[in-house]
Amino acid sequence: MFFVLFSSKRCHLLVRGFHVGKHFSNPSTEDIVFKAICVNLRQRKWKLVDQMSSSLTDSIVSRVIREFRTSPELALEFFKWVGEYKSFSHSLESYCTVIHVLVNSRRYVDALSLMKNLMQTKGYSPLEVLETLVDSYEMCLSSPAVFDSLVRACTQIGATEGAFDVIKKLRMEGFGVSIHAWNNFLNHLLNFGEVGRFWMVYKEMVSLGYFENLHAFNLVIYAFCKECKLLEAISQFYRMSKGGIIANVVTFNMLIDGACKMGDIDLALKILRKMRVMTGDFVTPNSVTYNCLINGYCKLGRLSIAEEVQNEMVKIGIEPNLRTYATLIDGYSRNGSLEEAFRLCDDMVGRGLVPNTVVYNSIIHWLYLERDMAGASLLLSDMIKKHVCPDSFTYSILMKGLCRNGYINEALTYHKWILEKNLIEDDFSHNILINYLCKSKNIAGAKQLLGSMFIRGFIPDLSHIWYSN
C-alpha cells in the first residue's frame, strides 16, 4: 500500500515538474543552427560549419561568438570566416561582440584593429561604436577596458574629437572613465602639438578627482619640457616623489633632454647623477639617456665630448644605436667635418647598423653646401642602390642643393620626375623652386609651377611671390 502511494505521489510530482517548472518547447530553427555550429566549431569541423552558412543571421553570429568567449582565438577565427561570405555582412553588433571577447582576453591588438576598421573603413562614428559596445556590455560580461580601447583606437587614427566625445559620453552615461583613457588622450594631444588643450583637459581630469599615476606625471613633465619650462617640470618631478611615486627612466630622460635642449648640459648631468641616488639604483640610464646628452653636446658644437659620451656608453654595456650615430654624424656634418662624419658611417656599418634616411640626408645636405655636387650625387645613388627610401626632406635637399649651385634646369627635371612618380606629398620643394626661379628672374617658369601647385591642392608660400615683385 505504501509503495503504491509513494509511486503515485512521485508520478504526480514529475507531472507537476513538467507543468510548473521549466517549460520545455520545441527548439527554434535558430537554436538548432546555433547548437550545430557550436558543436562542429569546437571540433573544428569547418566543412560541416560551412554547410550552415546559408542559415547565418546577425543574432546567430553574435551568440556563437559569446559562446566561445573563453576561446577568443576560435571566436575570432569564426568571425573572420563569416566575413568571407559575400552573402553575409557583419553588423555593428557582431563586431562589438567579438571586440568585447578580445578585450576580455587581453588581445588588444586584434580588438583595436577591428575598432579602427569600423571607423575608417565601415564609416561608423566613435559614438555609434560606443553605443553598441554599451548595449552589448552586460550580455558579453565585458569590462571597462573595452572603453579604454575605444579611446585608444580613436587616437591611433587621429580622431581627436571622436576620442574626447567618447570620454564625455561615458561620463554622461555614468560609466567610469579610467585614468588610462585620460592619459591616452592627453598623450595624443601632446603628440599633435596641442599643448594648450592638453592643459585644459588635464585640469578637467584633476578637478574630477583623479589621482595622477606615473604616466600622468610623465605627461605633465613632458608638456612643461615642450614649453621650455624646465623649472616647472622639475617641480612636478619633486611633487611626484613626495607623493610616493617613483620616477622611471622615461621621467629622467625627459628632464635630461629638456635641459640639453635649453643648452644647460651641467643641469642635465646633475639630473643623470640623481637618477641612481634618488631611486636607490632602481633606475639606470639607457641608450635614450645617452643619446639626449650626445645631442646636447652636438648642438653646442662640443663634438669630442659627445664622442666621449658614446665611448662611455660602450664601456657600461649600452650599444650605440642608429640614433646615436645619426646625431653624431649630423653634428660633424654641421661643423663641416665631413671626414669625421664618414668615419662614423664606417664605424656604424662595422657594428652592423645600416645608415637610414636621416644619416644620408644630413651628409648630402652638407655636401651640397660645400658645392661638392659629385659627392652628393654619388651618395644619393648609393642611397637608392641600398634601398634606403628617400623622403620629402631628401627631395627638398636635392632641389635646394641644385638650385643653390646654379643647376635650376636639372632641379626642374628632377622635380618633374618626382611628380610623375607621385613621390611628393608636400609643398616645400615647389616653394623652393619658385623661390629660385623668381631670383633668376624666370617669372614665367615660376607662374607655371605656381599653377601646378594649385592644381595639386598645395598652398604656395606668398613670400616667394612677393619677393619676385
pLDDT in tens, 178-234: 999 999 999 999 999 999 999 999 999 999 999 999 999 999 999 999 999 999 999
Residue indicated by cell numbers 571540433: 43
- Asked which of 10-14, 68-72, 414-418 is least confident by mean pLDDT, the reply is 10-14
pLDDT given at position 13: 34
> Is residue 416 assigned to a domain?
yes
> Is residue 361 assigned to a domain?
no
Q: Which residue has the higher pLDDT, 327 or 398?
A: 327
pLDDT given at position 8: 40
Q: Is the pLDDT of residue 114 over 60?
A: yes
pLDDT given at position 399: 86
Domain boundary among 88, 109, 142: 88
Q: Give the pLDDT band of residue 463 (cuts 50, 70, 90).
A: low
Q: Is the pLDDT of residue 18 over 50?
A: no
> Is residue 213 assigned to a domain?
no
Q: Is the pLDDT of residue 404 over 90?
A: no
Q: How many domains does the chain have?
A: 2
Residue indicated by cell numbers 622639475: 234
Domain boundary among 54, 88, 122: 88
Q: Which residue has the higher pLDDT, 412 or 169?
A: 169
Domain boundary among 46, 73, 88: 88
pLDDT digits (tens, 9 = 90+) for 231-286: 999 999 999 999 999 999 999 999 999 999 999 999 999 999 999 888 887 899 99
> Is residue 198 assigned to a domain?
no
> Is residue 415 assigned to a domain?
yes
pLDDT digits (tens, 9 = 90+) for 145-170: 999 999 999 999 999 999 999 999 99
Which residue type is seen at 429? Answer: S
pLDDT digits (tens, 9 = 90+) for 292-320: 999 999 999 999 999 999 999 999 999 99
pLDDT digits (tens, 9 = 90+) for 133-143: 999 999 999 99
Q: Which residue has the higher pLDDT, 171 or 10?
A: 171
pLDDT given at position 47: 86
pLDDT given at position 20: 40
Give the separation between CA 448 and CA 445, rounded to whole angstroms.
Answer: 5
C-alpha cell read off for 334: 654641421
> How much of the chain exceeds pLDDT 90, in percent?
62
Q: Which residue has the higher pLDDT, 158 or 23?
A: 158
pLDDT, mean of residues 391-395: 85
pLDDT digits (tens, 9 = 90+) for 57-100: 899 999 999 999 999 999 999 999 998 876 788 999 999 999 99
Structural domain including 71 reads: 26-88
> Is residue 99 assigned to a domain?
no
Q: Give the pLDDT band of residue 438 (cuts 50, 70, 90).
A: confident
pLDDT given at position 1: 38
- Asked which of 307-311, 420-424, 428-432 is least confident by mean pLDDT, the reply is 420-424
> Is residue 59 assigned to a domain?
yes
> Is residue 153 assigned to a domain?
no
Give the separation between CA 73 and CA 37, rounded to whole angstroms.
Answer: 16
